[in-house]
Amino acid sequence: MSVAENRVATDKPSFFGYLVEFDNVDSLIHAAEKVRDAGYTNWDAHTPFPVHGMDRAMGIRYTKLPLVILGGGLTGLGGALLMQWWMNAVNYPYIISGKPFWSIPANIPVMFELTVLFSALTTVFGMLAFNKLPQWRHGVFSSARFARATDDRFFISVEATDPKFDAKKTADFLAGLGGSEVEALED
Amino acid sequence: MSENRDVQLELGRTPLVIGGRDFHAVTEMVSSVVERRKWPIGWYIAFTISAGGLGLLGAMIGWLFYKGVGVWGVNNPVGWGYAIINFVFWVGIGHAGTLISAILYLFRQRWRTSINRFAEAMTIFAVICALVFPGIHVGRPWLAWWLFPLPYPQNMWPNFRSPLLWDVFAVGTYFTVSLLFWYVGLIPDIATIRDRATTKIRRVLYGFFALGWRGSHRHWHRYEVAYMILAALATPLVLSVHSVVSFDFATSQLPGWHTTIFPPYFVAGAIFSGFAMVLTLMIPCRTIFGMQDLVTMRHLENMCRILLATGMMVGYAYSIEFFIAWYGGNPYERFAFINRAFGPYAWGYWTMVSCNVLSPQIFWFRWARRNIGVMFVISIFVNIGMWFERFVIVVSSLSRDFLPAAWAYYRPTWVDIATFVGSFGLFMTLFLLFIRFLPMMAMAEIKGVMPEAHPHHGPDPAERRGTDLGGPTLQPAGALGRGREQ
């Protein structure tokens, strides 16, 4: 049964993938290493808190988020500089205590604050965008026991869209990882 | 394996979560507070009083807008009265929240985890209270948009060389960043509440704000990077905010304000007052909701130590101010400080010194750092003392400046006092709503510092699989790890 066929069967919920549950961090990490080594790409681990060592166990590459944030911060810095220069030195020059119309030191506090503001906004919205959140509908939520992924259980899900996915072989493979029995997810 | 070493170091001391709690027990303990159907009668009483205070604030602001700033006690030369004192007081209180959530995070002070959510919420509510005062202080709220660099009808722009404008940017950024930091920390915990929801309305509401969080490790990876960067941004930010607030004073020519020590002195004072406020709020909450296993005596003891340290920093700043007033050789400066300690506002000055410098000295004694009653009383003293610090700085300097002919004594009116009392109503109302509807401790983070959260700690997985999954924790947390390090 291929995924495409399943999707065509209209009004029935379509098949999303498999879910397997673990009750502690060590079994999860060992299982994740095996899934990684088996060559799956479209899979995930679900944990109630960030588990250290999972990045390597899952083969996750370091995110590009910091670069995007640098861009955001530089935008804030440059924007603040331009704004103050244009407003106070070009468009409406102030004559105050014989000071120069344009002097960087007086502009540093606002430059600093806007750098931080833009960086922080980029950090949060960039993180959400990279994570494709908000996404209120997802296949893993079709499992009743998945509610414990935010409590005290650890899960691995493999999606049917993975190129290596095979309904039978993947189920057998996941069953051998030392977790609970394998559950089929609907989308 | 530095991660593991950290855990081991932690375990050498009192564990951060005591009472043999496992992951589920942490979820249960924190979420059950939010999920209660019947709330303790004390909450309703507190909420009624706070909402009354909020109403008082609204009435006082309405009266101010109706009559004008004449209802306040400000006079000439004391043109800055309660409004700026309260502004600085509330902004300062916010600072401990950011210190706990960002600076202690960067220094890997894991004990912060059970108090950071609480402290961040306090930051946000304190900054809201602070923002009220600059918004109303000219009595013409319809001109408040002049604060921002928007094109004015007169084709003028705000003056970017004024520290008052820097304040707008500093406090505005501080509020935005604190709110983002708080919300990012809340997302996984709101998801926990969503997954435990029993009613449709809770599932929909918490589900909406959880943004569909599914604990994905690919998400956690970016989340942790984002959280760390936010902490790294918030750290210089918090130092800048109170520095900029102090520039409002320090860049003026007024004796008593015109000192270079102000930025670090204000920042230390802000952290000092904020920690006192965290203790004031935390001690009753911890007892009422039975959180003694999550907010342990060790947490409280650490906070007392910080109070002692920052209290001495402000004490040092007070004495250096006097030293410079003498050593600087400026007669006006010297007069301002003699006047501060022995002039008409000496009562305010000595209240400040006794509350801020003398009262925390009791924390040199271990029994005092471990006595709930003592710390609660001292935290109240510090709150009072830090309010008086701002009162002394603002009023004693302004009321007697260069020319004796221009001197005047400042007295607040009943409207000043009622507005200040009302701002506590606003603060407490927001705070009580927070503990009612949102998880007051960062569950995901607390779980992350428990020994079971770290691979290769605790019993072997094979052994563990045999035990009951939902049962109590496998071993007392403190017994783990020490001898098992590879």
Q: Does B1 touch chain A (CB under 8 A)?
A: no
Domain assignment present for B10: yes
Q: Is the pTM here over 0.95, yes or no?
A: no
What letter does residue B404 receive in the DSSP assignment?
A: G
Rounded to whole angstroms, how far apart are CA atoms B267 and B146? 28
Ranges of H-type helices in B108-159: 116-136
Q: What is the pLDDT of residue B211?
A: 95
Interface of B with A in 36-75 (CB under 8 A): none
Q: How far is B430 from chain A (nearest CA, A)?
A: 24
Q: How far is B252 from chain A (nearest CA, A)?
A: 13
Residue in chain A closest to B192 (alpha carbons) equals A150
Instruction: Give this complex's ipTM.
Output: 0.91
Ranges of H-type helices in B38-106: 41-67, 82-98, 104-106
Locate B473 and state its tokens. Answer: 């924790």
Centre a 10 Å sphere on the Cβ of residue B258 and count the other Cβ atoms it contains: 17
- Nearest in space to B440 (alpha carbons), one of B194, B190, B223, B222: B190
Number of A/B CB contacts below 8 angstroms equals: 221
Phi, psi of A15 (to 5 degrees): -80, 130
Q: CA-CA-CA-CA torsion for A98, A102, A108, A114, nearest 10 degrees?
A: 130
Cβ partners under 8 Å of residue B217, min gap 6: A44, A45, A46, A47, A50, A51, A54, A55, A58, A60
Measured between beta carbons, which residues in chain B are less than 8 angstroms from residue A16?
none
Query: How many degrees, rounded to 5, is the angle at CA B442 between CA A141 and CA B446?
Result: 95
Residue in chain B closest to A32 (alpha carbons) equals B217
Domain assignment present for B482: no
Locate A95 and state its tokens. Answer: 């004559």
Interface of B with A in 364-423 (CB under 8 A): none
Measured between beta carbons, which residues in chain B are less than 8 angstroms from residue A107?
160
Q: What is the pLDDT of residue B154?
A: 73
Residue in chain B closest to A95 (alpha carbons) equals B159
Q: For position B364, which CATH number holds?
A: 1.20.1630.10
Locate B187 and state its tokens. Answer: 């997302």
Q: Flag residues of chain B having pLDDT under 50.
A: 1-12, 458-486
Residue in chain B closest to A42 (alpha carbons) equals B218
**Contact present, B94 and B130 (Cβ < 8 Å):** yes
Share of chain A above pLDDT 90, in %: 63
The total of structural domains in chain B comes to 1
Residue tagged 């750290």 (tokens): B235
Q: Does A123 touch chain B (CB under 8 A)?
A: yes
Q: Does B29 touch chain A (CB under 8 A)?
A: no
Cβ partners under 8 Å of residue B157, min gap 6: A87, A88, A91, A92, B149, B151
Measured between beta carbons, which residues in chain A are less than 8 angstroms from residue B22?
152
Q: What is the pLDDT of residue B98?
A: 85
- Choose the mutation target among B108, B221, B224 for the interface with A, i.e. most A CBs under 10 Å: B221
The neighbouring-strand residues paired with A183 are: A19
- Nearest in space to A155 (alpha carbons), one of A163, A167, A147, A166: A147
Domain assignment present for B479: no
What letter does residue B429 receive in the DSSP assignment?
A: H
CA distances from B33 to B37, B55, B182, B245, B446 (A): 9, 27, 19, 37, 16
Q: What is the pLDDT of residue B475?
A: 37
Rounded to whole angstroms, how far apart are CA atoms B452 and B448? 8
- Record: contact B225-A92, CB cut-off 8 A: no
Locate B264 and state its tokens. Answer: 């670090």
Q: Does B188 touch chain A (CB under 8 A)?
A: yes
Decide: residue B217, CB within 10 A, 0-12 exposed, 13-18 middle, 19+ buried: buried
Task: Give me the domain span that covers residue B93.
Answer: 2-147+156-455
Q: What is the pLDDT of residue A12?
A: 59
Of A10 and B244, the one with more pLDDT: B244
Locate B442 and state its tokens. Answer: 């960062």
Rounded to whole angstroms, how far apart are CA atoms A64 and A126? 10
Residue in chain A closest to B21 (alpha carbons) equals A152
Q: Is B78 helix (H, G, I), strand (E, B) or coil?
A: coil
What letter does residue B412 receive in the DSSP assignment?
A: -
Q: Does B454 touch chain A (CB under 8 A)?
A: yes
Locate A174 and state its tokens. Answer: 């996941």
Rounded to whole angstroms, how far apart are CA atoms A67 and A126? 10
What letter does residue A91 receive in the DSSP assignment?
A: I
DSSP string covering B219-282, please?
Answer: HHHHHHHHHHHHHHHHHHHHHHHHHHHHHHHHTS--TTT--TTHHHHHHHHHHHHHHHHHHHHH
pLDDT tens, B352-397? 999 999 999 999 999 999 999 999 999 999 999 999 999 999 999 9
DSSP string covering B451-482, please?
Answer: GGGSTT-SS-HHHHHTS-TTSS-SS-GGGSST
CA distances from B366 to B115, B278, B305 (A): 21, 20, 10
Rounded to whole angstroms, how far apart are CA atoms B138 and B140? 5
- Nearest in space to B317 (alpha carbons), one of B265, B359, B274, B270: B265
- Record: contact A151-B159, CB cut-off 8 A: no
Decide: residue B42, CB within 10 A, 0-12 exposed, 13-18 middle, 19+ buried: exposed
Rounded to whole angstroms, how far apart are CA atoms A106 and A126? 31
Q: What is the pLDDT of residue B299?
A: 87
Mean pLDDT of chain A: 89
Share of chain A above pLDDT 70, in %: 93
- Record: contact A87-B160, CB cut-off 8 A: yes
Locate B247 and state its tokens. Answer: 């520039």
- Nearest in space to B315 (alpha carbons), one of B282, B357, B283: B357
Domain assignment present for B362: yes
Q: What is the pLDDT of residue A36?
A: 93
Q: Does A51 touch chain B (CB under 8 A)?
A: yes
The neighbouring-strand residues paired with A184 are: A18
Rounded to whole angstroms, how far apart are CA atoms A124 and B233? 12
Domain assignment present for B370: yes
Rounded to whole angstroms, how far apart are CA atoms A118 and B315? 37
Residue in chain A closest to B7 (alpha carbons) equals A52
- Choose the mutation target among B101, B203, B204, B214 for the interface with A, i.e. most A CBs under 10 Å: B214
Locate A166 and state its tokens. Answer: 């095979």
pLDDT tens, A54-100? 999 999 999 999 999 999 999 999 999 999 999 988 988 888 878 88
- Nearest in space to A130 (alpha carbons), one of B215, B209, B220, B181: B220
**What average pLDDT does range A116-131 have in this prediction?**
96
Question: Do you know the residue count of chain B?
Answer: 486
Interface of B with A in 228-267 (CB under 8 A): 229-230, 233-234, 236-237, 240, 244, 247
Locate B162 and state its tokens. Answer: 């004024």
The minimal CB distance from B214 to the residues A46, A65, A117 is found for A46
- Choose the mutation target among A74, A96, A113, A185 for the interface with B, i.e. most B CBs under 10 Å: A113
**Contact present, B80 and B74 (Cβ < 8 Å):** yes
